[in-house]
Structure 1
Amino acid sequence: MRSLRLLFAAHKLCAGLRQMPAVATHGAKVRCQLLRAAHSSSTPGPPVTDPPSKTVAPFEDAFSKEQRDKASFVEVLDLFCGRDVRRRGHVEMIEAALRWMPKFGVEKDVEVYNKLLDVFPKEVFVPQNFVQILFLHYPRQQECAIRVLDQMEYYGVTPNKHTFFLLAQAFGKFSHPVKKYQRMLYWFPRFKHANPYPVPVHLEDDPVGLSKVCLQRIAADRDARVTVYQLPSSEVCEDGTIREHEHLVGIQSPDQMSLLTGHDHRFPVVVEGPFPLWLKQTCVQYYVLRAEPGAIKKEEVDPERCLYYPLQLDLDLERDLGDELTFDVDEVDEGPVYAMCMAGCGDERMLGKWIQCLQETNPVLAQLPVLFRLTSSGPQEVSVPLQEGATSHEEEVARPSTAEEEETRPQQRMEQY
């Protein structure tokens, strides 16, 4: 009988909304919001920050303490669960905990998510009949549980059997959070190994080890060899100042070495960068040694070497009406890449040391001019427009060599512009 009364009340509410004038702008907005809330789902991602309620305000202060780890986070949840048996304000508490999880470093821990789902009162929101299942019994609590699962999906956390037990105990086996759990458990194992080049779960803090991982991902060549030219260290100078030496790691494959051997001496080799590379939430920068298009020597074939089967035909055929004149990206010649490196300091001095180290395995670099085409350091999403009379960082700037650099490198190795 109670369910029938709720149905009649919902019917009267819908009838009242239909009788509202269509000219009323405010009423139309309210009706659109009701329909949008009834037929739309939340986008997966971190929850939006909302002002805390009076019941959760003391726990916001507990979350904002200096010690932020898993033990202190679970301690706050246990403090809330032991305060009241009925768990009043549990929805606000869970939403506040979701906001603080990245700051405590537990956003990828499935045990903490299960602890959050354990905050819901047990066997209170379970529907008793089919009508309650159909009309989203206790919608606010179910949407809160779905937001917990959405954040697990956003950070790539796979739920386990304990997650299903907590959801079924709080909302029943036919609830919407359980359906969300079943979809996640179906698709997560299928997409887990879909990437042929997975990112390591734990990135190394050592800049040299991180550079090796990044360069191996960029090269995608099993024959490529990673070489550590310089380790990070500090040196005490004669005047008492401390000089820091940054790391320098490079990679080159045998195919790139053979291409560099056939480089035309009339064209310079270009050092470009830095280019950003994102690994999860870590951004690193790398530099490339490449050539301009047309800098590779082409083997000249004598067309009269074989009279019956010429090896090269130089035919000038006119275009037909049926020829396609579209632009194909795959056919664009950008020039070969000879080597790549990662350095702690991307100035010309450090990159010049990289070129000097490459001469040990590539003697042809001593006879080639090297052109540095460096942009401003650091990834920039928005570029500031230049003022009148200012020059761009991407232009090639001429810089004279100092006496100290002339002593440490051969004069015939490179020309700096």
Structure 2
Amino acid sequence: MKCARCLLQLQGLRLQGLQLQGLRLQGLQGQSARSAAQHGALLQSSSQPHMLRNTQHQVIRRFHRSPINDKNQPIPAEFINEDDNKKDKSLVIHDDLFEQVARETKTKATFNKVMEVFIKQDVRRRGHVEFIYAALQKMPEFGVERDLAVYNKLLDVFPKEVFVPRNFIQIMFNHYPRQQECGVQLLEQMEGYGIMPNVDTKVLLIQIFGVKGHPMRKYQRIMYWFPKFKHTNPYPIPKNLPEDPVDLARFSLARIADDRDAKVTVYQLPCTDITESGEEITLPHVVGIQSPSQMELLAQHNPSRPVFVEGPFPLWLRDKCVYYYVLRADPVSPEEKVEEPYDPERSLAYPLQLDLDLDRGLGDEESFDVEDLDEGAVFAMCMTSQGDQAVLNQWVSGLQQNNPILGRVPTLFRLEQGPRELQGAHKTKSDHQHRPDPRPREEEEDEVSVEEELRRSQEMKQ
């Protein structure tokens, strides 16, 4: 209260001084000193209570006012920039940094140069989290998404010994969560590409996040599981798949067949032909595979029963999807099935039957309750870039050279519209949405009789 009174007195003295100075100026203009003094006294007596009330109100308001309110005052709309409303501005800035440095070529050297430019910009590495997120998105464009040295150098962007927890409370409350999430995201991208960390990665994680951090725990999980699953696949897929469609089809069919005696045959290579009318036609590739056991099954097939060409069926090889077609038959009915005696010398390593004279009790059952799913035999497989009936008929005609029975067996085509929709990139989503639903296969088979299909297949073969 004493401070408030002192401030009121100082404010009143200041007002009196200002009034006297105004009276002196008026006296210089020709007014008398007595009239000026009387006028000043009247002004002071008439306005002093009101002024005191105003000054008291102003002083109390200023005394209790916090300076924080001045910082949080609303900014006028005319000073607001529209670009400030955009999100992830830092990511856009770092993307521009990648584009500025790597204008001509995007290689590993230019990617490392961008990281060096960012490190030299600021000693404190401000905005390092946004830069690392932007770098993780740009790595596939520069072709360094599988380079361990680049990931270690990207970890080196983090400031050292800043995010290390000092006590158990910081460990409990997830010390610097945003930076730890960024480190875990970097390790998850390494895990997605199948890259195993090394000792340098461990040393960097300890220097940045400490032993008890979440990125270090993620590193320990990767180092535990990766060696266990490294050599579990008996049929590994190479990292770099062949770019040639014929070589890719050879590799895919050999992987599906799972028979070392199976033979891959190229029935047609991709080429461009010009017709008599001058029209340019692109012929697709046709690659097939068939094993000797499949040839034996096809030779024993009943000519009165048709065979079917079905497909396409998808096969994923890492990030590529290929399609294949099969030549198969319907399962044989139990009445027509003939059990042949097995050859004990057919498979010495894995015998088909074991005759063991074991003592069995009265409650032991000799039969096993196993649900057998009877499927038709698969006689051959093929891959082509264009799954039309005419192209697949060329494949069946090529199989007829080594399998003469196909000339007497009717062939029916059961084709779906799988890869055609995927290859048609020019079709919009609206076309797919307004496209009428296909009719069930049973209705189509009712409309088209089997005799008509047999007649057409025979005509195409002739």
TM-score of the superposed pair, with normalisation by structure 1: 0.71
Cα deviation per residue 1:272-314 (whole Å; 9 max; x = unaligned)?
Answer: 011111111111110000001117964499xxxxxxxxxxxxx
Cα deviation per residue 1:29-59 (whole Å; 9 max; x = unaligned)?
Answer: xxxxxxxxxxxxxxxxxxxxx94244x4421
CA deviation after TM superposition for structure 1 residue 99, in Å: 2.7
Contact kept? 1:53, 1:92, Cα under 8 Å? no
Higher helix share: 2
Partner Cα distance (1:57, 1:283) in 2? 33
Residue in 1 aligned with 2:410?
369
Seen in structure 2, the aligned counterparts of structure 1 residues 212 and 295 have a Cα distance that, compared at 3 Å, is farther
Q: What SS class does the counterpart of residue 158 from structure 1 fall into?
A: coil
Residue in 2 aligned with 1:311?
none
Matched AA of 2:290: Q
Partner Cα distance (1:91, 1:160) in 2? 22
CA deviation after TM superposition for structure 1 residue 113, in Å: 1.4
Residue in 1 aligned with 2:214?
176
Residue in 1 aligned with 2:88?
52
Residue in 1 aligned with 2:252?
214
Partner Cα distance (2:181, 2:339) in 1? 71
Query: For the pair shown, which has the larger CA radius of gyration, 1 or 2?
Result: 2
Structure 2: unaligned runs, 5 residues or longer: 1-85, 341-364, 423-428
Q: Find 1:152's aligned residue among 190, 197, 210.
A: 190
Seen in structure 2, the aligned counterparts of structure 1 residues 53 and 410 have a Cα distance that, compared at 3 Å, is closer
CA deviation after TM superposition for structure 1 residue 269, in Å: 0.5
Cα deviation per residue 1:154-203 (whole Å; 9 max; x = unaligned)?
Answer: 22221111211211222233433222212211210111122222222111
Partner Cα distance (1:292, 1:246) in 2? 29
Seen in structure 2, the aligned counterparts of structure 1 residues 379 and 146 have a Cα distance that, compared at 3 Å, is farther
Residue in 1 aligned with 2:133?
95
Partner Cα distance (1:127, 1:266) in 2? 78
Segment of structure 1 superposing worse, 254-263 or 237-246: 237-246
CA deviation after TM superposition for structure 1 residue 129, in Å: 4.3
Q: Percent identity, aligned pairs only?
A: 52
Q: Find 1:349's aligned residue among 390, 396, 399.
A: 390
Partner Cα distance (1:238, 1:380) in 2? 31
Residue in 1 aligned with 2:321?
283
Q: What SS class does the counterpart of residue 82 from structure 1 fall into?
A: helix
Q: What SS class does the counterpart of residue 378 from structure 1 fall into?
A: helix
How is 1:187-202 mapped onto 2 (pairs within 5 angstroms)?
187-202=225-240
Seen in structure 2, the aligned counterparts of structure 1 residues 391 and 184 have a Cα distance that, compared at 3 Å, is closer
Residue in 2 aligned with 1:62?
97
Contact kept? 2:262, 2:289, Cα under 8 Å? yes
CA deviation after TM superposition for structure 1 residue 146, in Å: 1.4
Partner Cα distance (2:310, 2:292) in 1? 21
How is 1:1-40 mapped onto 2 (pairs within 5 angstroms)?
none
Seen in structure 2, the aligned counterparts of structure 1 residues 400 and 174 have a Cα distance that, compared at 3 Å, is closer
Partner Cα distance (1:77, 1:248) in 2? 47
Contact kept? 2:412, 2:454, Cα under 8 Å? no
CA deviation after TM superposition for structure 1 residue 267, in Å: 0.8
Matched AA of 2:383: M
Q: Find 1:260's aligned residue among 298, 303, 316.
A: 298
Partner Cα distance (1:262, 1:386) in 2? 44
Partner Cα distance (1:385, 1:264) in 2? 44
Residue in 1 aligned with 2:177?
139
Seen in structure 2, the aligned counterparts of structure 1 residues 207 and 57 have a Cα distance that, compared at 3 Å, is closer
Residue in 2 aligned with 1:340?
381
Q: What SS class does the counterpart of residue 332 from structure 2 fall into?
A: coil
Matched AA of 1:347: D
Partner Cα distance (2:311, 2:164) in 1? 59
Cα deviation per residue 1:194-235 (whole Å; 9 max; x = unaligned)?
Answer: 222222211100011100111111111122111111111222
Q: What SS class does the counterpart of residue 244 from structure 1 fall into?
A: strand
Seen in structure 2, the aligned counterparts of structure 1 residues 265 and 228 have a Cα distance that, compared at 3 Å, is same
Segment of structure 1 superposing worse, 112-121 or 57-66: 57-66
TM-score of the superposed pair, with normalisation by structure 2: 0.64
Matched AA of 2:401: E
Residue in 2 aligned with 1:243?
281
Structure 1: unaligned runs, 5 residues or longer: 1-49, 302-322, 412-417
Contact kept? 1:267, 1:295, Cα under 8 Å? no
Matched AA of 2:159: P
Seen in structure 2, the aligned counterparts of structure 1 residues 237 and 393 have a Cα distance that, compared at 3 Å, is farther
Contact kept? 1:249, 1:343, Cα under 8 Å? yes
Segment of structure 1 superposing worse, 217-226 or 333-342: 217-226
Contact kept? 1:225, 1:252, Cα under 8 Å? yes
* RMSD (Å), alpha carbons: 3.3
Seen in structure 2, the aligned counterparts of structure 1 residues 276 and 52 have a Cα distance that, compared at 3 Å, is same
CA deviation after TM superposition for structure 1 residue 392, in Å: 5.5
Q: What SS class does the counterpart of residue 341 from structure 1 fall into?
A: strand
Cα deviation per residue 1:329-379 (whole Å; 9 max; x = unaligned)?
Answer: x51222110000001211111111111110111111111110011111418
Residue in 2 aligned with 1:81?
119
